[in-house]
Amino acid sequence: MTLRGLTTVSFFADDLDAARAWYTRVFELEPYFVREGAYLEWRVGDYQHEFGLLNSRYAPHPHTGTPSGAIVYWAVDDVEAAYQRLIALGATEHDKPTERGPGFVTASVLDPFGNVLGVMRNQHYDDVLKAR
């Protein structure tokens, strides 16, 4: 088995309409795929990574109100600015911008729907872009 990279990252939301409005503002584009009341999907960023929002009623486990699972980090040019923008859009602090080493800065927020959303400046990502 060869892992070839991430395909779709999916978050859950109890209020899919509110989640659609919020993430449309975050991504500054409408979802390209919509299953009304059930699922939304955007293609985002340099490699058109897929971000999905699934109605919480389809979650594999009951929603506990506590964030859990992996943190997915999206590459950004300015972590502090991205973090502040997400806070201004209604997210709450999860982990303030922190330098993790030369060329690596991370931050994360809780979206209004209880998911952890991460942003990162990642030197490896920048190197891959330059090599393209």
Query: What mean pLDDT is predicted for residues 11-37?
Result: 95
pLDDT, tens digit (0-9, with 9 covering 90-100), for 33-43:
999 999 999 99
- What's the pLDDT at 16? 95
126 pLDDT more than 90:
no
pLDDT of residue 102: 87
List, for residues 71-110, the tens digit of each pLDDT value.
Answer: 888 989 999 999 999 999 999 999 999 998 888 899 999 9
Q: If 0-12 CB within 10 Å is exposed, 13-18 middle and 19+ buried, where does residue 89 land? A: middle
Domains by residue range for the chain, with CATH: 8-57+70-131 (3.10.180.10)
Taking alpha carbons only, the member of 9, 10, 11, 31 closest to residue 20 is 31
